[in-house]
Structure 1
């Protein structure tokens, strides 16, 4: 009779190997999550899309220092793996990892298609970091670190050297709410529309007109009274009471636009962001990010503690089984009033006797933060991130 060999030893070895693989997967994926929570807790401003499967570290990230640290830790633990992570910016960009917005307002979307949700906007002359491409779309990061997608038709791709050369050209800033670049001083044909805060290169002056160049090389004419030299514009920016109120009220009636951050349309946080940008400060994109900046000045509806320029936040308070939700923001303008974008840019009041009394927002008030004249990591001057000479 033939001796039948037991399959148990082989099965046991396979079982041990499977356990080892499973343990490795759990260990590595937990490490990935640990790094994500410290390196990229907010996916709107940092990419850390990694996973570990079948002995392969996969995904993509722009947090390259953290990735190197993770790989070193895996090597120290003796974990064998294939490194299949895409580093961003993508090498396929061939060095064109920068871009400048070439239209008055670029719509930047959550996915690489025009039907996708509008995530944010960027004005002409805004420098962008390009992370990767997908057809005619590019994943970009704005100066406030927001990551989303823009159509190539609205940007000029550049290398680091190209961007530096563009910075060296003399810049002018368009100051009215809206306007145009014309092919000639007769104003018969338009090169581009313009909105407040657009940045162009100033070429020559001819009486009441200035010849300008757009970031993609197109040229045209703008009335000189509508432009300020970059240096003059920057030095005149100030988040004073008068400036903040004047800028905010100049936008009364502008329609609400989800994802909007320009005179063409604003959502609530896009409105507060625009107010501060036009007065020389760059603040985070979303209300849930803006609330993390500055100094807390009120949580109890003590309106006497508030100053013009303070940001009021609204939403749902935290409960035992639910985190706080910040869904709206406005700016205090004094006299128990605040200005905000809901349906349109409007003024609301917390005074029951006022025709602008806003019981709806009063009932979902969370707290007020002060960012004017406060040290805050997420609040920068325009000159720090847009640096033409």
Structure 2
């Protein structure tokens, strides 16, 4: 088995091995993956974080040895919190990290992480270990994405979809959930009433066939943060999402889920 890691800010993952193919997700900086199949110019990968599979341009891969893979797997999990972070590599080059990027082999006492043999310093906001107030952190981070444009398959402030948004926010508070809303809905405890929801809980919405097609993050009473056209704040009740601009319901409520427990674990 071959392994790789993203040493780029964002790597698009395609459904098929073609630049014209649909982008199904993105790999953020520091996320590592298995290389399952290779063909001319393309590699089929499986992300270690969420098991998502797809095709990426082989030129974008930074190879990992099995030893480095194992070292990353054993190291503390650390994630960037700043919406953007610039890290100098040398006098001529910088790394740009978006919120939710992984910092492999994070050493908190040195504020340092490493990719293969290269070490980098980061003085910005980093989340790792058990967090004291994960709900407050989730909302604080979610609001940083306000007005970020919607992008199918996106997971960054440059463009993000509804389930990419919820997944990355939960990643920052140390809770791993699947990539797609239809899988995210299978996690957590269902709530009976909107009034039971707390900041950071997830709300899921379906279509006329009962398919989960949308997800958002409950903020305060009857408010939801979600990616629809852009990351926005709308009203929410037992019927669904009420768009504050168009003054109409846009998404039909299916269920609300409590995934964050009182101690911050899932």
Flag whether TM exceeds 0.5 (same fold): yes
| Corresponding residue for residue 16 of structure 1 | none
1:161-200 maps to which residues of 2 (within 5 A)?
A: 161-165=67-71, 173-184=79-90, 189-198=92-101, 199-200=103-104
1:291 alignment partner, one of 167, 185, 197: 185
| Corresponding residue for residue 28 of structure 2 | 123
Give me the TM-score of the superposition, normalised by structure 2: 0.82
What is the rounded CA distance, in whole Å, between the counterparts of 2:74 and 2:218 in structure 1? 38
User: Are residues 308 and 180 of structure 1, via their aligned partners in 2, closer, same or farther at CA, if it must alter by over 3 Å?
Assistant: same
What is the rounded CA distance, in whole Å, between the counterparts of 1:356 and 1:238 in structure 2? 36
User: Are residues 112 and 170 of structure 1, via their aligned partners in 2, closer, same or farther at CA, if it must alter by over 3 Å?
Assistant: same
User: Are residues 287 and 177 of structure 1, via their aligned partners in 2, closer, same or farther at CA, if it must alter by over 3 Å?
Assistant: same
What is the rounded CA distance, in whole Å, between the counterparts of 2:75 and 2:234 in structure 1? 43
SS of 1:258 mapped into structure 2: coil
Are 2:77 and 2:129, in contact at CA under 8 Å, matched by a contact in 1?
Answer: no
Count, aligned residues: 258
Are 2:100 and 2:169, in contact at CA under 8 Å, matched by a contact in 1?
Answer: no
User: Are residues 159 and 355 of structure 1, via their aligned partners in 2, closer, same or farther at CA, if it must alter by over 3 Å?
Assistant: closer
User: Are residues 139 and 346 of structure 1, via their aligned partners in 2, closer, same or farther at CA, if it must alter by over 3 Å?
Assistant: same
SS of 1:116 mapped into structure 2: coil
SS of 2:27 mapped into structure 1: strand
What is the rounded CA distance, in whole Å, between the counterparts of 1:102 and 1:251 in structure 2? 23
User: Are residues 190 and 173 of structure 1, via their aligned partners in 2, closer, same or farther at CA, if it must alter by over 3 Å?
Assistant: farther
What is the rounded CA distance, in whole Å, between the counterparts of 2:113 and 2:200 in structure 1? 34
Deviation at 1:262, TM superposition (A): 2.0
User: Are residues 357 and 191 of structure 1, via their aligned partners in 2, closer, same or farther at CA, if it must alter by over 3 Å?
Assistant: same
Are 1:172 and 1:227, in contact at CA under 8 Å, matched by a contact in 2?
Answer: no
Deviation at 1:241, TM superposition (A): 2.6
| Corresponding residue for residue 370 of structure 1 | 258
Give me the TM-score of the superposition, normalised by structure 1: 0.58
2:14 alignment partner, one of 109, 114, 119: 109
Deviation at 1:309, TM superposition (A): 1.9
| Corresponding residue for residue 58 of structure 1 | none
The structure richer in helix per residue is 1
SS of 2:170 mapped into structure 1: helix
The structure richer in strand per residue is 2
What is the rounded CA distance, in whole Å, between the counterparts of 1:248 and 1:371 in structure 2? 16
What is the rounded CA distance, in whole Å, between the counterparts of 1:307 and 1:168 in structure 2? 33
User: Are residues 189 and 237 of structure 1, via their aligned partners in 2, closer, same or farther at CA, if it must alter by over 3 Å?
Assistant: farther
Are 1:239 and 1:276, in contact at CA under 8 Å, matched by a contact in 2?
Answer: no
What is the rounded CA distance, in whole Å, between the counterparts of 2:184 and 2:123 in structure 1? 34
1:271 alignment partner, one of 158, 165, 185: 165
User: Are residues 370 and 277 of structure 1, via their aligned partners in 2, closer, same or farther at CA, if it must alter by over 3 Å?
Assistant: same
| Corresponding residue for residue 307 of structure 1 | 198
Q: For structure 1, which runs of at least 5 residues remain unmatched after alignment? A: 1-94, 319-323, 375-379, 382-389
**Structure ranking higher on relative contact order (CA contacts 8 Å, 6+ apart):** 2
| Corresponding residue for residue 128 of structure 2 | 234
Are 1:251 and 1:345, in contact at CA under 8 Å, matched by a contact in 2?
Answer: yes
SS of 1:341 mapped into structure 2: strand
| Corresponding residue for residue 330 of structure 1 | 216
Are 1:182 and 1:191, in contact at CA under 8 Å, matched by a contact in 2?
Answer: yes
User: Are residues 306 and 271 of structure 1, via their aligned partners in 2, closer, same or farther at CA, if it must alter by over 3 Å?
Assistant: same
What is the rounded CA distance, in whole Å, between the counterparts of 1:288 and 1:196 in structure 2? 24
SS of 1:281 mapped into structure 2: coil
Are 1:314 and 1:361, in contact at CA under 8 Å, matched by a contact in 2?
Answer: no
Deviation at 1:191, TM superposition (A): 3.0
Are 2:27 and 1:145 aligned? Answer: no
**C-alpha root-mean-square deviation of aligned residues, in Å?**
3.2
